[in-house]
Amino acid sequence: MLPQGMKTNLRQGRFVKRINRFVCLVDFGVGRPVLVHVPSSGRMEELLVPGARVIVEPFPEDGKHKTRGRLTRVSHRGKHWVSIDSHLPNRLMEKAIGQGVLPEFADLEDLRREVAFGGSRLDFSFRRHGKLGFMEVKSVTLVEGGIALFPDAPTLRGTRHVKELADAAQEDYQAYLIFVIQRADARLFSPNWTRDPDFAQAVSEAMDIGTTVLAYDCSVTPADVALRGSVPVVLKET
């Protein structure tokens, strides 16, 4: 049974196993497990465990998809839901900024997606009082002891993005690094010094240069994910 109020096009099942980074098997209890797309390259070893309850958004049966749907949320130890769609944080931030609900960004103008800077494409550019700025948004799913951590595996691409932001700040552009924690059980955020010390060091150095680092958590239900509020950022090694 789907939870009351849940969108009818969503299906609930049980995670079976991960085939590769972007494909897993899900059991819907009506036959053999089916292939489902995993919209994140993160390891998520603490989330994607056999038997975990998952929410899947089915794909149209039009012959264009090799998998039956997209895995969007996972129940962590049966206690709370975690969104794992790595593309969703950008949409959440874009919507929140557009609606003016984040005080930090109430005066932003001309928000644009996927903008080239240096050797990278950063998630957003914007203008504030005529001054150009850049923003990179990262999806966080890992929480340990109430501390949200990113990344959950080494990320050369993520480190490069952070260094590009630092370069932007050094060139007197506004620069924001945003971590969207796709769950509601984190009391603070920290870069993951254990899993990727190079990334964590890059974040620390970027902040010293002038990059603003912010974190927001989310309320997550089987039916919906919504940006909730700001979470303190602690850059020192935990």
Residue listed under structure tokens 């849940």: 6
For residue 140, what are its two tokens? Answer: 């966080």
Task: Choose which CATH entry (3.40.50.11810, 3.40.50.970, 2.40.50.580, 1.10.1040.10) describes domain 11-79.
Answer: 2.40.50.580
Tell me if 132 sits within 8 A of 172, measured CB to CB.
no
Model confidence pLDDT, tens digit, residues 68-96:
999 999 999 988 999 999 999 999 999 99
**What is the percentage of the chain residues whose pLDDT exceeds 90?**
87
**Does CATH place domain 88-231 in 3.10.20.30?**
no
| Tens-binned pLDDT, residue by residue, of the chain (238 aa) | 233 333 558 999 999 999 999 999 999 998 899 999 999 999 999 999 999 999 999 998 777 788 999 999 999 998 899 999 999 999 999 999 999 999 999 999 999 999 999 888 999 999 999 999 999 999 999 999 999 999 999 999 999 999 999 999 999 999 999 999 999 999 999 999 999 999 999 999 999 999 999 999 999 999 999 999 999 999 875 4
Kindly report, residue by residue over 1-20, the tens digit of the pLDDT.
Answer: 233 333 558 999 999 999 99
CB-CB contact of 138 with 211 (8 Å): no
Tens-place pLDDT, residues 103-116: 999 999 999 999 99
- Domain ranges within the chain, ordered by starting residue: 11-79, 88-231
